[in-house]
């Protein structure tokens, strides 16, 4: 049975809660990622910020990205999943909470993240396996 740890990306990026939305957006664009885990002054996770959060704040709420801090628009609490959870539970959790990024935890520490794109890659690979199995 495939687990969350099998499809997660082990590189997690962080940003301080008092950083500006503009700093978060630049970081996300430069890294080619879709989310950042938001940490407080003790480096404890307190939220998550995604491209969708930034777009909503800047375009629809007309927030000034150079003056508004991440803490004001981050999603909280962070929905997380245990590394040993089955992939089906990962998908169910993302659908239930309508989230595109799901941090993976082990021993209360974030060890990776799964995005909706990762789920699509997993589905594509599974389809390829099933196609090839049918031609054997």
Phi and psi angles of residue 126, each rounded to the nearest 5 degrees, phi first: -65, -40
CA proximity to 21, closest of 31, 10, 29:
29
Quote the pLDDT of residue 93. 97
CA proximity to 78, closest of 115, 119, 49, 41:
49
Phi and psi angles of residue 83, each rounded to the nearest 5 degrees, phi first: -60, -25
58-91 tens-digit pLDDT: 998 888 999 999 999 999 999 999 999 999 999 9
- pLDDT tier at 136 (50, 70, 90 boundaries)? low
20-66 tens-digit pLDDT: 999 999 999 999 999 999 999 999 999 999 999 999 999 988 889 99
Quote the pLDDT of residue 135. 65
Quote the pLDDT of residue 133. 75
Quote the pLDDT of residue 18. 97
Report the pLDDT averaged over residues 7-19. Answer: 96
CATH architecture group of domain 4-134: Roll (3.10)
- pLDDT above 90 for 122: no
Quote the pLDDT of residue 110. 97
Report pTM. Answer: 0.89
The contacts of residue 80 (CB under 8 Å, 6+ apart) are 102, 103, 104, 105, 110
């Amino acid at each position: 049975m495939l687990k969350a740890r099998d499809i997660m990306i082990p590189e997690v990026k962080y940003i301080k809660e008092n950083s500006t939305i503009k700093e978060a957006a630049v970081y996300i664009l430069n890294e080619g990622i879709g989310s950042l885990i938001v940490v407080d002054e003790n480096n404890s996770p307190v939220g998550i910020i995604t491209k969708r959060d930034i777009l909503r704040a800047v375009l629809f709420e007309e927030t000034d990205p150079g003056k508004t801090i991440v803490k004001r628009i981050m999603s909280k609490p962070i929905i997380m999943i245990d590394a040993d959870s089955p992939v089906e539970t990962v998908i169910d959790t993302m659908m239930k909470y309508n989230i595109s990024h799901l941090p993976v935890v082990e021993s209360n520490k974030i060890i990776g993240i799964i995005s909706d794109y990762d789920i699509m890659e997993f589905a594509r690979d599974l389809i390829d396996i099933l196609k090839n199995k049918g031609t054997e």
